[in-house]
C-alpha cells in the first residue's frame, strides 16, 4: 500500500532538511552578487524566481555586470543548465502518470538536489508517492532559495570563513552516490563520470560536468555489455534515501 500524500510530503521534507543548510550560502551569494553587479533587488529576485538555477544565475550576474550582450547571457544560462535534460529524462519515467499541470510545476522545481534525492528514494522505496515526496523535497529548496536571495541582496553574503556551509552540497551528492553504485557497471559509470568531470573542471559553462555525466552514462552502457547489468535496486524495505 503506497503511503499517503501527507506522509510522502513529510518524508520529502525530512530528506531535504539536512541539505538546506548547504544551499544557504549559494542563495545569499545569488542575492549579494546581483546587487554588487549593479542589479536591483527586483532583478535579483527575478533571476531566482524566473531562472531558479544557481550556477547559471551567478554566470548571468557576472555577464550583466560586464555589460555583455543580452543574447550572450541567455545562451550562457541555457548551456550551463543543459544538464537538466538528463535529470528530466531520468526522472520522467517516474512522473509519466502525472497530470500536465502537476508535471509543469514539477518541471519548474527541478534542481540537482530535488532530482538526486527523489531518484534515490524512488528506487529504494518504490511505493513512495512520486508527486508528494518530490514536492516535499523541491518546495523547501525553492522557498529557501528565494528567501536567501532577498537576504543576500539586502544584507550581503557574509558567512564565517571557517564555516564552509557550501560543502554540505557535495556531501549530499556523495551520500546519494554511494548507494547509487550497485555493482561494476554503475561503478564504472561513476568512475568515468567523476574522472572526466574532474579533468574538465576548468572548462567554462559547466561543460566538464555535462561531458563527464554523458561519458559516464556511455561507460555504464559499455560496461553493462561486458560485465552484465548490476542487480536491480534494493528491496523496498531498505532504509529510505535520506532518512534523518
Partner 1 sequence: MSPPPGPQVWLAIVAAGLGTFLIRASFLFLFERMGGVPPRLERALAYVPAAVLAALVVPALVAPDGTATVLGNDRLLAGALAALVAWRTESVLATIVVGMVALVALGAAGTFV
Q: Which of residues 161-180 bind partner 1 (CB under 8 A)?
A: 162-164, 167-180
Question: Which CB, 89 or 226, lies closer to partner 1?
Answer: 89
Q: List CB contacts of 155: < 8 A, sequence separation 6 or more.
A: none
Question: Considering only residues 10, 107, 139, 207, which one is a binding residue for partner 1 as defined by CB under 8 A?
Answer: 107
**Residue from the set 22, 54, 136, 152 that interacts with partner 1 by CB under 8 A:** 22
**Distance separating alpha carbons of residues 174 and 120, to the nearest angstrom:** 12
Residue 231 makes contact with partner 1 by CB under 8 A: no
- Distance in angstroms (rounded) separating the CA atoms of residues 54 and 46: 13
Residue 178 phi/psi, 5-degree rounding, is -55, -50
**Are 133 and 123 spatial neighbours (Cβ–Cβ below 8 Å)?**
no
Residues 188-207 that bind partner 1 (CB under 8 A): 189-198, 201-202
The C-alpha atoms of residue 135 and residue 127 are separated, in whole angstroms, by 16
In angstroms, the CA 180 to CA 241 distance is: 10
117-156 residues in contact with partner 1 (CB under 8 A) are: 119-120, 123
Question: Does residue number 217 form part of the binding site for partner 1 (CB under 8 A)?
Answer: yes
1 vs 83, which CB is nearer to partner 1?
83
Subset of 34-93 contacting partner 1 (CB under 8 A): 37-39, 43, 46-47, 50-53, 56, 60, 64-67, 70-71, 73-74, 77-78, 81-93
Q: Grid coordinates 541555457 are at which residue?
A: 78
CB closer to partner 1 out of 4 and 198:
198
Tell me whether residue 1 or residue 202 sits nearer to partner 1 (CB atom): 202
For partner 1 (CB under 8 A), the number of binding residues is 107
How far is 143 from 132, CA to CA, in rounded Å?
A: 16
Amino acid at each position: 500500500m503506497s503511503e499517503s500524500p501527507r506522509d510522502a510530503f513529510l518524508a520529502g521534507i525530512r530528506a531535504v532538511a539536512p541539505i538546506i543548510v548547504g544551499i544557504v550560502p549559494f542563495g545569499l551569494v545569488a542575492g549579494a552578487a546581483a546587487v554588487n553587479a549593479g542589479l536591483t533587488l527586483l532583478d535579483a529576485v527575478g533571476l531566482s524566481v524566473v531562472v531558479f538555477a544557481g550556477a547559471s544565475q551567478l554566470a548571468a550576474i557576472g555577464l550583466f555586470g560586464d555589460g555583455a550582450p543580452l543574447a550572450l547571457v541567455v545562451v550562457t544560462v541555457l548551456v550551463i543548465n543543459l544538464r537538466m535534460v538528463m535529470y528530466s529524462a531520468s526522472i520522467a519515467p517516474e512522473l509519466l502518470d502525472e497530470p500536465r499541470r502537476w508535471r509543469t510545476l514539477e518541471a519548474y522545481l527541478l534542481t540537482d538536489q530535488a532530482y538526486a534525492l527523489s531518484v534515490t528514494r524512488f528506487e529504494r522505496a518504490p511505493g513512495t508517492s512520486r508527486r508528494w515526496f518530490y514536492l516535499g523535497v523541491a518546495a523547501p529548496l525553492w522557498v529557501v532559495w528565494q528567501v536567501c536571495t532577498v537576504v543576500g541582496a539586502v544584507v550581503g553574503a557574509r558567512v564565517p570563513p571557517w564555516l564552509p556551509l557550501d560543502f554540505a552540497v557535495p556531501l549530499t551528492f556523495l551520500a546519494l552516490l554511494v548507494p547509487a553504485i550497485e555493482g561494476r557497471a554503475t561503478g564504472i559509470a561513476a568512475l568515468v563520470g567523476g574522472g572526466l568531470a574532474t579533468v574538465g573542471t576548468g572548462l567554462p559553462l559547466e561543460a566538464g560536468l555535462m561531458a563527464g555525466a554523458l561519458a559516464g552514462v556511455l561507460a555504464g552502457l559499455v560496461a553493462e555489455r561486458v560485465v552484465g547489468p548490476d542487480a536491480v535496486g534494493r528491496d523496498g524495505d531498505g532504509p529510505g534515501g535520506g532518512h534523518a
